[in-house]
Structure 1
Amino acid sequence: MTTLAEKFQRDIKVVLWLSAGIFFSLALFSFNPEDPSLNSASGVVREVHNFCGIIGSFLADFLYQSFGLSAWCFVALFLRAAYVSLLGIELEFKKAQVVWAILFIVCVSSLSSLYITEKALFNDSVYVGGLLGHGISILLSDYLNKIGVGVMLWTLTLISFILYTEKPIEYFFRGPRAVLKALYEKVHDRYLEWQESRQGPEISTKESNFWRNLARKMNPKSLLGTKASEDDEEYEYEEEEEEYEEEYEEDYEDEAEEDGDTLELAEEDEEDADADPQLKIEIGETSARFQMKPQEAKASKRKKRIKVKQKRRVANWEMPQVNHLEDPPLSAVKLDPKELKRKTELLEDKLSQFNVKGKVTAVKPGPAVTMFEYKPNSDVKISKITELADDLSLALSSESVRIIAPIPGRDVVGIETSNSVRETVYLKEVIAESNFFSDDFTLPLALGKEASGHSKVVDLRKMPHLMVAGTTGSGKSVFVVGALTGLLFKHSPETLKLILVDPKQVDLVAFHKVPHLIMPPIREVKKAVSALKWAIKEMDKRYRSMSRFGARNLEEFNEKIKDFTKEQLDEHAEVNEELLRANKRSETYHYTKLPYIVIVVEEFGDLMAVDKSNVEASVVRLAQMARACGIHLVLAMQSPRKDVVTGLIKTNIPGRISFKVASKMDSRIILDESGAERLLARGDMLYLAPGVPKPMRHHGPWVSEDEISSVMNFWAEQCEPEFDDEAMKMLDGSGGGYGDDAGGDNELSPDADDRYDEILSFVSTQKSVSASYIQRKFRIGYPRAARLIEIFENEGVVGPANGSKPREVLIGGIGETTL
C-alpha cells in the first residue's frame, strides 16, 4: 500500500485538492439562509437544501457570514493547489504564505464592504464583505475618509497578493499581452497585404498612413505601458532588430562607396517605392540590372531581414526553479540500529584479535558508507590499524573498508564501511537543503552529501580550480554534468560563460544550446588547444582592463564600471576603436561588466596525449594567474597518470576530487595519498579541499537526463547561444600543424610573434637562411619558423623559395651604417 501511495503521490494530491475545491464550491453555490447553521435556533428542525448536506450548510454559512463573497477565494486557492500539483510542482506551505493568503481575503472582504455597506446578499441576510470585512471597513472609516481607506486597502490587497503568489505584477499581464499581440499581428499583416496589393501612386498619403498608425497603436507594449517580459515578449527586440537593419544597410552603403561601388535602393517609405516601382541596382563597372515588381521587392526585403536577423538578447533573464529537478523518494533508506550495533561489536572483537584495544565512540551512518569512530588505547600504534583494512572488510562482510588514521584534529580513527543498501543522493535535495543560493557562494558546486549525511556545497571561486578523476562507472561524468547544471540555477549568461571540451561527444552534448557558451562545445582534441589559448588572451585583456580601472579582482572591476554613463561608455568605445585602427589589438581593454568563465575539460588525458607541451603550458598559466580575473578550470580525467597530472599542473590546482580509481598509484597522484582505489562505484568520492591535509568522503548527487534536458530547454527557449567572434576566429584557424603557434594569429604580421625582432636581427647577419635552420637555432616549432620566413619574404628580408635550397638574405646586418 505504501508503494502504491508513493507511486501515485502526485495524482492523489491533485484529486484531493480538486475534491476540496469542488466541495467548497458546491456548498457555497447551494447556500440557503433557511438551512441549519450556527445562526439558526438549535431546537428547530429544518430541511437541508445544501448540496453537501448539513456539513455544507454549516460551512457555507460560516464562510459567507465571515467573508461574504470573498469566501469564493478559498475555492480559488484549492483549485490553484490542484493545478500546481498537476504540473508536478511541490507545494511548500510556508507560514508566511498562509498569512499573506488570509490577509488578501480579508482585504478583499473589507473593500467589498467599503463600497457596499448594507446587507445585499441572500435576502439581505449577509454583508457583501461579511462581518469581518464590514467591521474592518467601519473601524478604519473612523480614522480615515472613504478615499483614504480605499487607498490603504487596495495597497494591502496588491502587496499581499504579490507576496502570496511570489510573482511580479508583470507576470499577470502576460495573458492580456498575448491576446493583444495576436491582434497586433493580424492588423500588421493586414497592413502589409494592403500595402503590397496597392498599385500606383494614386493612393493618398492619408490612406497610406492609416494601417501603419493603427498597427503602431495596437502594439501591446504601448497599450499596456509595460516593459516586455524576458521570456515571452519580443517587441522590444523587434525594434532593436529594425534599428540594426538600418545600421546594417548604412554600413553596407558606406562600404560600397569606399570600394567605388554604387548601390541604389528604394527607401523604406512605400511612397518612394510607388514613385519608382522598378528597382535599379548598379554595382561598380559591371552594371547588373534587373527589374522587380513592388510585391517581389517587398518579399526580397523580408528575406534580407531574416538573413541579417541577430540572435535574441534578453535584458532580464528568468532563472530556472528547482522544480525542474526530480523529487527524492519519500521512503529514504534507513539503517537498522540493531545492525549497526552488531557491526560495532564485530569491529571491536576483530581488532582485539590483533591486539588492538579500544572502543567505538560514535557511529555516523551516511548515504553510502557508515563511519565508526574508534578510539584506540594509548599503547596502540596507528600504523597497525591501517594494515587491517582487508581483514576488517572480511569480518564485516563489507564491499570495502577505508581507514582514516587519525581523523584530522581528533584523537579517534575513522573506519568507513559500505552500507548493505545504498541511498541515492538527488541533486534537488542537495540544492534545497544547503545554502546553495547564498551570497557566500559565487560559483557553487553541489558536491553531494558527506559521510554523515549532511549536504555539502563548495565554491569554485574560492577553490579556484578543480581536478576530477575516476574510472568508467565511478560517477565522474555524472558529477561534472550535475555541477554544471547547478551553476545554471545560480547564473544567467550575463554573469557566467562556459567553455566545454568534450572529446567523447557524449557527456556534455546536452549543453550545446545553452546561451552561456562562448563557443560551441569542442569535440576535436586539437581545437581545445586554441580554446585554451583564447582563454589566455582573454585573461591578459582582463588584467589590462583591471589595471586601467584600478581593480584587484573581477568583483571590484564590475563594481567600478557598473555606474558608467553613456558618454563614458562611448568614450571608451572610441578609444578601443582607435587602438584597433592602429593595429594595436593587444592594447584593447574591457569597459563593460564581465562574467565569470568556467572551462570544463572532459578527458583531459586525451588533450595531453595529443599536444602535451601546448596544453600543459596553457593550463599552467591559466591555473597560476586566472583566478583574480574570474576564469576557472575544471579538468576531468579517467586515469590520473603521472604524464597527465604533471608536477606543475598538480601544484597550481589545489582542489581535487577522486572517484574510484584503478590503483593506489592513481590515488596518490590525484590526492597525495592512497584510498581512492577502495571507493565504491556510482558516486562515491573523496574531496581534497585547498589547505586541508586529508580528503573527506562524500557521495555525489545523481541527475537524470530528463532533469538535464528540462533545465537546458528552459535556457534554450529564452535565447540562443551568441558565440564570441574572436574565439570563433581562433577555432577556425586551429587546423594544420600544432606547434607553438597553435591557435595563434594567422595574420602574417610581425606583431604575431614576440621573438620577431630577435630572429630578424640574427637573419640580417646571414647570407642565407631556412625555416629548419631557424627552428634549430632558436629551439622553436617548425610551423612557427615557417611562418616567420613567410613574414620575412613579405617584408623583403629574404628572397623567394628556391626549391629545397635556403633562401637568400636581401638585407645587411641591422645596425650597420652605409656610407
Structure 2
Amino acid sequence: MATTEFEEKPRVITPRNSRRNEIVAILLFAVGLLLTLCLVSAAFYPSDPSWNSASQGVTRNWAGSIGANVAALLFQAIGIAAYLLPVLLLGAAWRRFRTRSIRAPFFRLLGLLILTLSAAALLSISGLQPLFDSSVQPGGLVGTLISRGLASGLNTVGATILLIAIAATGLLLATNFSFVDLYQKLATLFAERFAFVGKLPERYRAWREVRREEARLRKEKRAALKAEHLAARAAMKSSPELSPEQRIAQFMEPPAAGTLGAETINRGEARLVQQAQPAEASAEPARAAAAGAGAQTATVVEGRSGRRSIFPRGNGNSAVEEEENVEEMVKGASVLRPKGEAPATGKLPFDADRSKRVSYTDYSMPPLEFLNEAPPHSEQADTELLSLATRLAEKCKEFNVTGQIKHICPGPVVTTYEFKPDPGVKYSRVVSLVDDLCLALKAESIRIDRMPGKPHVGIEVPNPRRETIFLREVIESRAFRESSSKLTIALGKTIDGLNYVADLAKMPHLLIAGTTGAGKSVGVNALIVSILYRARPDEVKFILIDPKRLELGLYADIPHLATPIITDPKVASRSLKWAVKEMEQRYKDLAGWGVRNIDGYNTEIMRRNLVKEYDDKGEPHKPLPYIVIIIDELADLMMTSGREVEESITRLAQMARAVGIHLVLATQRPSVDVITGLIKANFPSRISFRVSSKVDSRTIIDTNGAEHLLGRGDMLFLPPGTSRLIRVHGAYIDETEIGRIVAHAKAQGNPEYNESITQSEEEALGLEDSGGEHDELFEEALRICVEMKRASTSVLQRRLRIGYGRAAAILDIMEREGLIGQADGSRPRPVLGRAYEMVAQWDEGGGEEE
C-alpha cells in the first residue's frame, strides 16, 4: 500500500545540473550583453583607438579599450555579421535560464559558425556599406574571401543562391527553427482568413446553373408564344373575303361575351380555324415545355362580328395582347406623299434684266437640256409601308417602347416613320433602339431624330430601292427658279422628297466634310454648276484651289474664273492673302459710296450709270462681282502653310460677307488639326456627308449622326441661324453634263485673269522693269541708304515699316542700277557714288525724275 501511495503522488523532475545551467546562463547573458555594448558603441565611435587604429584620442567605447579592440576585431573579420553573435548568445542564455539543456552542442556550434560565415559572405556580395564606418567591409575579411572564391567559379547569382542555402542549413543546425512548421502556420492562417475564396467556384457554378435554367424557360416560353402568334397571323391572312385593313379593324374590336356555338361560324371562319390547327398542333410541345414559366394554353375567342381567332390567354405577355398592342400602334398611321411639281422647260426665266447690265450682254445661260432628265420614279405600295411599320412597332413593343406611328412619309432614299411615344417613354430610350431596329428591319443604317414643331420622333429607314436624284430636278424646281440670289445652290431633296435649295450669300461661307465615296466631290460640282446656271461671268468670279489636281480640272478656262485653277499650296496661300487685300479695298469703296453691302453698291452703280454719272475718265462705273473661293482639300493646305492659310481664312470668314467674298472649304479629314476651332467658329453653315466615326461627326456638326448616313450624297446640312440639322439627299451630276455646260460657257468668251491674285510680293513690285522707280518707296529708301551710308534690309524694314520681301526687292533694284554694292554675307552693302549723284539730282529737280 505504501508503495502504491508513493507512486500515485505527482513527481517534479528537476535536472541534476540546474544550478550549473543558471551559472552558464548568467555567463552567456553577460558575454552577450558586453558584446552588444561593444558592437553598438563601436558604431557611434568608430575612431576609438584599437589594434588597427593609430588614434591617440580617449576611448569612448562603452566596454572600454577591450570592447573597442574586440569590436574592431569582429568587424574586420566578419563585418556586419558580427551583430549575429550577441543575438545568438542572448538566445542561448535565455534557453539555459529555463533549465533546458542544449542538445548536440557540437552541431549547434557548427550551425552557428556556418550561419555567421555565410551571412558575412552574403553581406560582402550585396555590397552594403556600413553607415558608421566606411573603412569596414560589409562581410569583413572572411566574408570577402569566401564571396570572391565562390563568385569566381559560380558568378554572383550562383554564389548568392549557394550561400542562401548554406545559411538556411546553418540556421536549422543552430536553432530549432523549421521551415515546414512556418509553412503550416502560414497555410492555417490564410485558410482561416480567406476561406471564402475557395467557395467562389462553387457559388459561380450554382449561379450559372440558375441562369441557364431561367434562360431555357424564357426560350421555351418565347417559342410557344411565337408559334401561336405565327399560327394566328397565318390564319388571319388566309381569309380571302377581307382586305388587310378590314382584318386589322375587325381584329381590333373587343371580344363579345357569350358562348361558342357552331351556328356562329360561317364558311370563312371554318376555313380560318381549320388552317390554324396544324400550326396550333405543332406549337403544343413548346407550350407544354413552357408551362412552368407561366405560359397558358390556347383558347378560342369570339369577336363581335362572329369571327374566331386562336390566341393564347395569359397574364399580359400573351400573343393576343401583344398583337393588339402592335396593331394599335399602327392603326392610325397614314401615308403622306409630297405632291409633284411640274418641271420647267427651256431656259430659266431669270435673265429679264440683261439689257441693263454693263458687259456680257450677249451671254446666255446654259439650257436645261444639258442636264440629264430623271427617269420615272417608282413608289412603294402602301401595303408594303404598313407592313414595315408593323415590324417596326413589334420591335419597339418588344423593348417596352410603346407609342403610335402617326404618319409614314416615303422619300426618294429613306422613309420617315413619325412615332409618337406614350407618356412616360423617354426620347433616349427610343434612340437607343437604333441597332436593334437595324437588325429587325435588315437595314444598313437607321437614324432617329426629333421632328421640329411636332411631338413626334422621326425614324428614318432606308428604302429597299434607292432613287437617284438628278440635278435637273432641283434646278427646274420652283424654289430654284424663283430665287433672286445669284449664289443659289441646288443641294438636292429632303427626306420627304421636296426640292431643297440654299443661298450661299446668306450662309455666308460653307464648310463641307465627308469620307471618300460619300459624295463630297459631286456636291462641290453641283454647287459650281448651280451658280453657273444663275450668274454670268461679270456677276460671279471663281477662285478654284485644287491641291489634288483632279477634282476641279473640268472647269479650266471658263470665263467665270478670276485666275487659273490653283494647284500649288504656296500660290493658294498668296491668293488667299490677295482676297484679304481685296476685301479691305472693297470696304473702302463701300465706305466712300455710303453703302453697307455689295448689293447696295451695285444698285448705286446701276443708278449712276442710268443717269450717266460716270467716273473721272468718263467711263461707266463697273459693278463688283461676287468672288467665290472654293478649296477642294483643306487638309493639304493646312499641312503646308497652316498658319498663313488659317489666318487668311479666319479674316475672310469674319468680314468678307458684306463685300461679296464667300468661302467654300471641303475636306476628307474633319479632324481638329484641319478644322481648327478658329475656322469652325466662323463657319456657321456646314455640310457633313458620311464620316467614319462619331468624333468626326461632332467635329464638323457638333453632334452625332453623320456616321449613320448612307453615303452617295446623303448629307446633314446645318443652315445659317439655326442649330437644327436638315437631312438632304444630294443631287447627282456626272462629268458628261459638266462637260456640256463648260463647253457652252467657253464658247461665249475667254477668261479674264487677274495676275495679281497669284503674284508673289517680289513680282507685284515689278522687278522686270529696269528702272524700278515704280515702287513708291524707292526714293525714300535710297535717301535712307545715302543718309546711313550703308544699305541693309533690316534698316529699311524698321524705317519704312515694310516687310522683308519688299525691302530685299528694293535693294535688288538698287544693286541692278549700280547704286549699291553686292551683298557680302550678313554685312551691310556699301553705297556707291552714283547713289549720291541721283539724290543730288532729285534735290535740284524737286523730286524723282519721271
Q: CA deviation at 1:798?
A: 9.7
Return the match for 2:698 from 668, 672, 683.
668
Q: CA deviation at 1:625?
A: 1.2
Distance 2:764 2:720 in 1: 33
Indicate the percent of aligned positions where both proteins have the same amino acid.
42
Equivalent position of 1:333 in the other structure: 378
Distance 1:325 1:665 in 2: 37
Identify which of structures 1 and 2 has the higher relative contact order when contacts are C-alpha pairs closer than 8 Å and 6+ apart. 1
Distance 2:803 2:535 in 1: 41
Q: CA deviation at 1:355?
A: 2.6
Q: 1:239-388, aligned counterparts within 5 Å?
A: 314-330=360-376, 332-388=377-433
Q: CA deviation at 1:677?
A: 1.2
Q: CA deviation at 1:376?
A: 1.3
Equivalent position of 1:716 in the other structure: 746
Equivalent position of 1:693 in the other structure: 723
Q: CA deviation at 1:541?
A: 2.1
Q: CA deviation at 1:359?
A: 2.0
Instruction: Give CA-to-partner distance per residue, 1:589-629, whole Å, 9 cap, x none.
Output: x9421221211111111111110111111111111111111
Structure 1 residues 751 and 709: CA distance shift in structure 2, 3 A: same
Equivalent position of 1:650 in the other structure: 680
Equivalent position of 1:442 in the other structure: 486
Assess if the C-alpha contact under 8 Å between 1:468 and 1:636 holds in 2: yes
Q: CA deviation at 1:637?
A: 1.0
Assess if the C-alpha contact under 8 Å between 1:466 and 1:656 holds in 2: yes
Distance 1:401 1:777 in 2: 66
Distance 2:704 2:523 in 1: 21
CA RMSD in angstroms comes to 4.2
Distance 1:351 1:778 in 2: 75
Q: For residue 437 of structure 2, give the secondary structure of its aligned residue in structure 1.
A: helix
Consecutive unaligned residues of structure 1, counting only runs of 5 or more, are 1-91, 98-162, 169-226, 231-312, 576-589, 735-740, 812-819
Return the match for 2:622 from 592, 614, 622.
592
Range that drifts further, 628-637 or 566-575: 566-575
Structure 1 residues 769 and 429: CA distance shift in structure 2, 3 A: same
Q: CA deviation at 1:449?
A: 0.2
Q: CA deviation at 1:465?
A: 0.9
Structure 1 residues 409 and 744: CA distance shift in structure 2, 3 A: farther
AA aligned to 1:699 is: H
AA aligned to 2:369 is: N
Return the match for 2:735 from 696, 699, 705.
705
Correspondence 1:543 to 2:565: no
Q: For residue 507 of structure 1, give the secondary structure of its aligned residue in structure 2.
A: coil
Larger radius of gyration: 2
Structure 1 residues 771 and 359: CA distance shift in structure 2, 3 A: farther
Distance 2:653 2:459 in 1: 35
Structure 1 residues 745 and 674: CA distance shift in structure 2, 3 A: farther
Q: For residue 356 of structure 1, give the secondary structure of its aligned residue in structure 2.
A: coil
Q: CA deviation at 1:399?
A: 0.4
AA aligned to 1:683 is: G
Equivalent position of 2:495 in the other structure: 451
Distance 1:777 1:664 in 2: 54
Structure 1 residues 649 and 572: CA distance shift in structure 2, 3 A: farther
Q: 1:751-770, aligned counterparts within 5 Å?
A: none
Structure 1 residues 570 and 781: CA distance shift in structure 2, 3 A: closer
Correspondence 1:636 to 2:682: no
Q: CA deviation at 1:686?
A: 0.6
Q: For residue 738 of structure 2, give the secondary structure of its aligned residue in structure 1.
A: helix
Distance 2:569 2:474 in 1: 34
Distance 2:434 2:799 in 1: 57
Structure 1 residues 495 and 773: CA distance shift in structure 2, 3 A: closer
Equivalent position of 1:623 in the other structure: 653
Consecutive unaligned residues of structure 2, counting only runs of 5 or more, are 1-341, 836-850
AA aligned to 1:659 is: F
Q: CA deviation at 1:573?
A: 3.6
Q: CA deviation at 1:396?
A: 1.2
Correspondence 1:486 to 2:530: yes
Assess if the C-alpha contact under 8 Å between 2:614 and 2:621 holds in 1: no
Distance 1:387 1:751 in 2: 68
Q: 1:164-175, aligned counterparts within 5 Å?
A: none
Instruction: Give CA-to-partner distance per residue, 1:393-452, whole Å, 9 cap, x none.
Output: 111111001121x22333221221211110000111111223212244331100100000
Q: CA deviation at 1:463?
A: 1.1
Structure 1 residues 775 and 560: CA distance shift in structure 2, 3 A: closer
Assess if the C-alpha contact under 8 Å between 2:578 and 2:757 holds in 1: yes
Correspondence 1:558 to 2:602: yes
Structure 1 residues 322 and 803: CA distance shift in structure 2, 3 A: same
Q: For residue 541 of structure 2, give the secondary structure of its aligned residue in structure 1.
A: strand
Instruction: Give CA-to-partner distance per residue, 1:194-223, whole Å, 9 cap, x none.
Output: xxxxxxxxxxxxxxxxxxxxxxxxxxxxxx
Assess if the C-alpha contact under 8 Å between 2:506 and 2:720 holds in 1: no
Q: 1:199-238, aligned counterparts within 5 Å?
A: none
Return the match for 2:616 from 569, 572, 577.
572
Structure 1 residues 421 and 749: CA distance shift in structure 2, 3 A: farther
Return the match for 1:410 from 445, 454, 457.
454
Structure 1 residues 697 and 570: CA distance shift in structure 2, 3 A: closer
Structure 1 residues 397 and 486: CA distance shift in structure 2, 3 A: same
Assess if the C-alpha contact under 8 Å between 1:516 and 1:721 holds in 2: yes
Correspondence 1:679 to 2:709: yes
Assess if the C-alpha contact under 8 Å between 1:572 and 1:591 holds in 2: no
Assess if the C-alpha contact under 8 Å between 1:530 and 1:743 holds in 2: no
Q: For residue 482 of structure 1, give the secondary structure of its aligned residue in structure 2.
A: helix
Range that drifts further, 608-617 or 558-567: 558-567
Structure 1 residues 768 and 508: CA distance shift in structure 2, 3 A: same
Instruction: Give CA-to-partner distance per residue, 1:538-558, whole Å, 9 cap, x none.
Output: 222222221111111111111
Distance 1:806 1:557 in 2: 50
Assess if the C-alpha contact under 8 Å between 2:609 and 2:621 holds in 1: no
Equivalent position of 1:463 in the other structure: 507
Q: CA deviation at 1:669?
A: 1.1
AA aligned to 1:446 is: A
Equivalent position of 1:499 in the other structure: 543
AA aligned to 1:336 is: A
Distance 2:814 2:655 in 1: 34
Structure 1 residues 452 and 620: CA distance shift in structure 2, 3 A: same
TM-score, scaled relative to structure 1 = 0.52
Distance 1:599 1:706 in 2: 24
Q: CA deviation at 1:454?
A: 0.4
AA aligned to 2:690 is: K
Distance 1:712 1:809 in 2: 56
Structure 1 residues 423 and 749: CA distance shift in structure 2, 3 A: farther
Structure 1 residues 707 and 797: CA distance shift in structure 2, 3 A: same
Q: CA deviation at 1:746?
A: 6.4
Distance 2:813 2:478 in 1: 58
Return the match for 1:610 from 620, 636, 640.
640
Q: 1:16-35, aligned counterparts within 5 Å?
A: none
Correspondence 1:396 to 2:441: yes
AA aligned to 1:450 is: T
Assess if the C-alpha contact under 8 Å between 1:530 and 1:742 holds in 2: no
Q: CA deviation at 1:342?
A: 2.2
Structure 1 residues 743 and 683: CA distance shift in structure 2, 3 A: farther
Instruction: Give CA-to-partner distance per residue, 1:453-478, whole Å, 9 cap, x none.
Output: 00111111111111111111111111
